[in-house]
Amino acid sequence: SVALPKLKERRVITVANQKGGVGKTTTAVNLASALALQGLTVLVVDLDPQGNASTALGVDHRSGIASSYELLLGETTAKEAIQTSPHSPRLLCIPATIDLAGAEIELVSMVAREGRLKTALSDAALEEFEIDFVLIDCPPSLGLLTVNAMVAAKEVLIPIQCEYYALEGVGQLLRNIQLVQAHLNPSLHVSTVILTMYDGRTKLADQVADEVRNHFGEAVLRAVIPRSVKVSEAPGYGMTVLDYDPGSRGAMSYLDAGRELASRSAGVVGSVER
């Protein structure tokens, strides 16, 4: 008889940084697109009420449809909420609608409020989709939505903008990761750090990059994402930059980052103790 190939373990990665505008959403959707181009199946879970990841992936996120909000409340299943991006059959998305804006408060009084996303994304719930990667796009806060994302994942990916105050707030983020690790999810760790919006013309960008590499060591991807107009234009067309302008530097850098991410195993590097 022929042995069935052993299924690889699905990697669940939370893209987090409570600072807004550092490139969380851009990184989540473009990395997802890059991984899908490698033949992997990727689910993006949009946990930001702004729904920017849903927009960039070209999926419906009008109020009232099955979304991450209903998923957290237990009113829908992953199967019902998953949409396929029009750009790739391997790129899936659970969208966020504006309804999610109230969830942070609604969740407070709920049973097992920190573990609701993990339960909704169980192996059984995702069985038929053969998903290799789940990328969770967090809102710019450390509230219950982000905690749900950290409980559902094993890995945290931190995008850091190559700008002034780049590491501002990162200490607080790491302390929160440690708290979740200690009390709710012992497997959680910072597996990946990605430098975004790098402007090679400035000395500052290099200083920030060096500082981040000193701090996080091997967790930092070698691929650095340049500041590029194409990257910021793409979501306006309901696209990732890999679809919008595949030959651009932004697209190439996300492709490189995706290859690096996929070639690393889930637990190789990264420690929140640093």
Instruction: Report what 267 binds from Mg ion, ligand ADP, none; CB cut-off 5-8 Å by kind.
Output: none
**Choice between 52 and 88, CB closer to ligand ADP:** 52
Judged by CB, which is closer to ligand ADP: 51, or 126? 51
CB atoms within 10 A of CB 249: 15
What is the nearest approach in angstroms of Mg ion to the Cβ of residue 25? 3
> Edge-to-edge, what's the strand order for the sheet holding 189-196?
83-84, 91-94, 42-46, 133-137, 11-15, 155-161, 189-196
- The nearest distance, CB 88 to ligand ADP, in angstroms, is 20
Is-contact 251 230, C-beta < 8 A?
yes
CB of 231 to ligand ADP, least distance (A): 4
The binding site for ligand ADP (CB under 6 A) comprises 20-26, 52, 140, 196-197, 225, 227-228, 231-232, 250
Q: Which residues bind Mg ion (CB under 5 A)?
A: 24-25, 48
Q: How far apart are CA 76 and CA 80, in angstroms?
A: 6
Q: Residue 178: CA atoms inside 13 Å, Cβ hemisphere, count?
A: 10
Q: Are 10 and 132 in contact (CB under 8 A)?
A: yes
When the beta carbons of 25 and 196 are compared against Mg ion, the nearer one is: 25
Q: Closest CB to ligand ADP among 186 and 236?
A: 236
Nearest distance from residue 233's CB to ligand ADP, in Å?
8
CB contact at 8 A, 134 and 40? no
